[in-house]
Amino acid sequence: MTYLETYQKTAISTFTAQNGLYGNYGGRYVPPVLEDKLQHLREQFFLCQNDPEFISEFHRILKEFTGRPSPLYFARRLSEYVGSAIYLKREDLNHTGSHKINNTIGQILLAARMGKRSVIAETGAGQHGVATATAAAFMGMKCKVFMGAEDASRQSMNVRRMELLGAEVVTTSLGRGTLKDAVDAALGYYIENPDSYYLLGSQVGPDPYPEMVGFFQSVIGNEARQQILEKENRLPDNLFACIGGGYNAIGLFGAFLNDDSVSIHAAEGGGAGPFLHETAATLCMGRPGVFQGTYSYALMDENDQVVPTRSVAAGLDYPGVSPQHASLKDSGRATYHLITDREAIEAFELLSRLEGIIPAIESSHAVALAMKMLEGQKDQLSIINLSGRGDKDVGRNF
């Protein structure tokens, strides 16, 4: 079976929701002006998902433009330090420096098929904004990126990268000026300009975005599965990824969901700890409700109002989460853990020194979780999704 056949078979079986729902979660809670637009998007995505020419073009660009497949790297010194065998799925080596480019290339091709000439996006840490601006430049499309003022300040390098790529960066001072507020601003613009293509940057939002984003990101797990079998002749015992909205995590997890022998763990942005208003750990601290177009877990107070969040990682600083992850939590197939800012910063510094790899502070949450759970477990084989590189975080005063 060729790589493309493996990709198509695994991705389609793993990421198919039933009528836009993952169990009880998902759906489409949007103003009437967007209902027909999103239904049309679902229909066009279904056509492209099942079009061999579209899939072939998607993979050609991922190979020739973004540099896939990304390596599965045995982290020898980290493994020795922890006392357990650990591989890193090196999404940090993709063009633009993170996993984000997989989804943006998939969606920009879909937008082109639909005859769109401009795209809009939201961004937190700036990596999705950079990847969207890159994909738009690649396709010759106009690009507008919404970003919270606080995030724009702490990720100024990525703001400059987006502008250099030709994107218009629109900052918002609503709320705390973080990812939630950028999503609100982008959705508001989309409602007023529904002919734009909204290139959503995580596995959240109304149907069909969770299913669509999961499909384009499944390249991560399909590669990792093939690579670990080639290197170790067996599946891993554990998978680790960070999770904000959830799409780098589902990208790795998706190819292993049917393998009961593989334990699946995700690290949420815990901020200062397990306290509302001081954390972004949605699945650990939240409860189900409708938020930004979908029914999933959200961080809410006793009056069902979404509360402000806190995380050192702008990409994890979001009070909602993927409906697929909500379903995986309830079913027990995956477990979700709170990692504090301090734990993530320590892992950020440690991986840099041990492996010569500076991870994104988001990815550092996954490294911290793996170190915590695997200490001294010599018989275990694990994969951490290193979802992005840390250039953007080096200048920050943690």
Q: Which residues are identified as catalytic?
A: 100, 122, 387
* Bridging pattern class, strands 72-74 and 85-90: antiparallel
Rounded Cα distance, 358 and 376, in Å: 24
Residue with tokens 């695994």: 10
Rounded Cα distance, 386 and 300, in Å: 30
- Say how far residue 138 (Cα) sits from the centre of its chain: 21
Tell me the three state secondary structure of residue 384: strand
Long-range own/partner contacts, residues 170-177 (CB < 8 A, 24 or more apart): 170/144, 170/145, 170/146, 171/146, 171/147, 172/146, 172/147, 172/148, 173/148, 173/149, 174/148, 175/148, 175/308, 176/148, 176/150, 176/308, 176/309, 177/148, 177/149, 177/150, 177/151, 177/152, 177/153
Question: What does the DSSP 8-state code read for residue 271?
Answer: T
Radius of gyration of the chain, Cα coordinates, nearest whole angstrom: 19
Rounded Cα distance, 92 and 213, in Å: 19
Q: In one letter, which amino acid is 25?
A: Y
Tokens for 146, please give them.
């919404």
